[in-house]
Structure 1
Amino acid sequence: MISFTPSISFGGHATDVGLSDLSNNFLYASGVVLVLAMMAFVLDLAGHPGRMARAEQAREAAAEQSAERADKASAAAGSSKGGTAVLERTTEAAGAIPEKRQYAGIGISLSWLGWLLLGACVALRSASVGRPPLGNMYEFAIVGAFFVMTLFLGWSLKRDIRSLGVFVVGPTLLTEMLAALVFYTDASQLMPSLKNYWLTIHVTIAILSVAFFTIAFSTTILYFVQKWREDIHDTKYKFMDAVPGSAVMDRTTYGLLIIAFPLWTFTVIAGAIWAQKAWGNYWGWDPKEVWSLVIWVVYAAYLHARATAGWAGKKSAYIALAGFGCVLFNFCVVNVFIVGMHSYSGM
């Protein structure tokens, strides 16, 4: 069916409308699957208090049984020392039993499926235009969503981060919805100034940086939530006990931004090199250039404050939030509403 779909020509290059439409369908399918994944992660969090209560009961029952066996062994051997050792070993074994989390497993499985569907969307979009899908805000959004899911799922292979699932899948799903409903641009060829190999280098690294910034934003928000719960000794929202505490979220944000900052530094440098090739000067104070520099300065201040002034916790978290606010402004406002040499959002 696709081979008979009419093509539209842009500057001598054919754009396959059929592949573009198929790419859109994969985006919608990915969105549906990620909705289900997010619901599974929500159910996992909702069931956490009950799981913890059952786990505590199981540990108490195991401790009672081991105590009885220890007493019998102690009476038979005439020594309480051996029984105590048996009790300690048995109790430790009971506490080491892995927690079964059915809904979290379903959420991870659905996340992998949503990631595959989103990857197909990106690949088909690229095939439809015969170039990397990096030429407008729609393509930036779908590739960015794909990178966020790639980082999250890759991370999940090394650490148990199932409790963070809803807080990563949620922003990814929102990005897909914005891409489909707000940022969507018909498949087309690039503007002449964008037809350069630096497009792939510069924009790909920029998207990867923003993926790290996005996950760091989620962990920063979780830091504030957990810090608030710890300060008030919260017992109402017990489901959030499944999420690591504020100190862990603070360190996680710091680790993510340590990776993101050098990537964004390269993005700014690569953009300057590309600007020189395309427009004849490395820096022209274009709005996009200015806000890219602002982002760099804010995150540099974050890392500098933590490394030299010892800022951790709330002080540094506020800077991290300001940095991501600049990222959103650069993407959603500068690209759309401010005219400059980088006005190629496609909208």
Structure 2
Amino acid sequence: MPVNQTLSTFSDTAFQTAFVIYLLALVLSLIYYVKLQGVIDAHRAREKMTAKALVSSAGDNQEVETASGVDIEALSEEEFTKKRNATDKFGGMTQGLVYLGAVVHLASVILRGLATDRFPLGNMYEYISMICVLSVISASIVIQRKEWRSFWPWLLLPILVLLFFGGTNLYSVSAPVVPALQSYWLPIHVSTVSLGAAIGIVSGIASLLYLLRIKQPQGEERGFFGAVAKPLPHAQKLDGLAYKSAIITLPVLGLGIVLGAIWAEAAWGRFWGWDPKETASFISWILYAAYLHARATAGWRDHKAAWINILALAVMIFNLFFINLVVSGLHSYAGLN
């Protein structure tokens, strides 16, 4: 079937627009991140001031000191509220832009599929675009409360890098897929793997931030890395996000591998052949299983388990780029053509 060039152009335009929106969201999220550091410092200073006022009120000159303390506290509360509200505006704008970017990005994916009359997962450009939009949507579902808005810069930066690389070096014009991908298994298998990879990205980033946070506990931040870690949620919350995300990643990725094996039997006459991509996918699944097991095992619930999750993410990224684009195998058609 001929490609609808009009829809294809709309898809490319939507992709570029989504990239710009994500970039603006990243800028706003960084402003929010920096301003949030000031809000946290002001909140801690206010707590110390309140504590000193309470100590002073226990003295002989209780009425004067208490009144003075109340006056200072009221002024500080007003200034603090203004500072916090101004910061929240940037957080809200970031959230709104991310939602808008996700909608435009999803429209790009859908338009690409409509333009080619097939599921839009026929090459690396489309595959990366799908993973990125699913990652943003997954994170948007999780990041609803204000305390999680500091997570956005850490996710948007790698998403923008992936989109830039996919939209430049790996871009493919709208076209029918190669014969090997002309199967009803394409949307079933590849979309499942894409969803697992998307949630795995969120989980891996959460583990990275968890390791940073345990090195810089709340209220005890020191130096450059302390300033970087200050706006992040508590270490236990970051660890919980990584764990809950991995719980979803493991079965979804496992289902994708099983579906791929069924497709392989139909296409190549065997379920499993230790092809480089099959092997790397299986290793990443094993690592996610190992992470969940370690996370539930006494003695491994600290940073040791988090490192396994990060390794699983690294293997998945290695599988995405190196295996698809460099190593020769039965999945080499998933490259640029």
- TM-score tier by shorter-chain length is 0.7 to 0.9
Q: CA deviation at 1:314?
A: 1.5
- CA distance in structure 1 between the aligned counterparts of 2:273 and 2:218, rounded to whole angstroms: 48
The aligned counterpart of 2:22 is 34
The aligned counterpart of 1:136 is 123
The aligned counterpart of 1:151 is 138
For 2:315, what is the secondary structure of its paired residue? helix
For 1:47, what is the secondary structure of its paired residue? helix
Answer yes or no: is 1:274 the counterpart of 2:274.
Answer: no
Q: Which runs of 5+ in 2 are unaligned?
A: 55-62, 64-69
What aligned pairs does 1:29-68 form with structure 2 within 5 A after superposition? 29-55=17-43
The aligned counterpart of 2:181 is 194
Cα distance change on mapping 1:288 and 1:63 into 2, 3 Å: closer
Answer yes or no: is 1:248 the counterpart of 2:241.
Answer: no
- CA distance in structure 2 between the aligned counterparts of 1:340 and 1:124, rounded to whole angstroms: 30
- CA distance in structure 2 between the aligned counterparts of 1:324 and 1:317, rounded to whole angstroms: 11
1:80-129 CA-to-partner distances (Å, cap 9, x unmatched) read: xxxxxxx9xxx9xx8xx895311111111111111121112111111111
Answer yes or no: is 1:341 the counterpart of 2:330.
Answer: yes
Q: Which runs of 5+ in 1 are unaligned?
A: 1-12, 67-74, 76-86
For 1:281, what is the secondary structure of its paired residue? coil
For 2:230, what is the secondary structure of its paired residue? helix
Q: CA deviation at 1:159?
A: 6.9
Would the aligned equivalents of 1:247 and 1:313 in 2 still touch at CA under 8 Å?
no
- CA distance in structure 2 between the aligned counterparts of 1:297 and 1:181, rounded to whole angstroms: 33
Cα distance change on mapping 1:287 and 1:63 into 2, 3 Å: closer
Q: CA deviation at 1:139?
A: 0.5
- CA distance in structure 1 between the aligned counterparts of 2:159 and 2:230, rounded to whole angstroms: 23
1:115 to 97, 102, 107: 102
The aligned counterpart of 2:221 is 234
Cα distance change on mapping 1:345 and 1:173 into 2, 3 Å: same
Q: Quick one: percent identity of the two aligned structures?
A: 28
Q: CA deviation at 1:279?
A: 1.3
CA RMSD of aligned residues (A): 3.1
Larger Rg: 1
For 1:312, what is the secondary structure of its paired residue? coil
- CA distance in structure 2 between the aligned counterparts of 1:329 and 1:241, rounded to whole angstroms: 31
Would the aligned equivalents of 1:135 and 1:194 in 2 still touch at CA under 8 Å?
yes
Q: CA deviation at 1:255?
A: 1.2
What aligned pairs does 1:66-105 form with structure 2 within 5 A after superposition? 99-100=84-85, 101-105=88-92
Amino acid at match of 2:235: S
Cα distance change on mapping 1:104 and 1:201 into 2, 3 Å: same
- CA distance in structure 2 between the aligned counterparts of 1:310 and 1:128, rounded to whole angstroms: 53
In terms of mean alpha carbon deviation, does 225-234 or 328-337 score higher? 225-234
The aligned counterpart of 1:284 is 273
Q: CA deviation at 1:34?
A: 0.9
- CA distance in structure 1 between the aligned counterparts of 2:322 and 2:291, rounded to whole angstroms: 23
In terms of mean alpha carbon deviation, does 300-309 or 135-144 score higher? 300-309
For 1:132, what is the secondary structure of its paired residue? coil
1:176 to 153, 160, 163: 163
Answer yes or no: is 1:220 the counterpart of 2:207.
Answer: yes
Cα distance change on mapping 1:313 and 1:190 into 2, 3 Å: same
- CA distance in structure 2 between the aligned counterparts of 1:60 and 1:295, rounded to whole angstroms: 47
Amino acid at match of 1:150: I
Answer yes or no: is 1:293 the counterpart of 2:282.
Answer: yes
1:21 to 9, 27, 33: 9
Q: How many residues matched?
A: 315
Would the aligned equivalents of 1:135 and 1:344 in 2 still touch at CA under 8 Å?
no
For 1:242, what is the secondary structure of its paired residue? coil
- CA distance in structure 2 between the aligned counterparts of 1:337 and 1:231, rounded to whole angstroms: 43
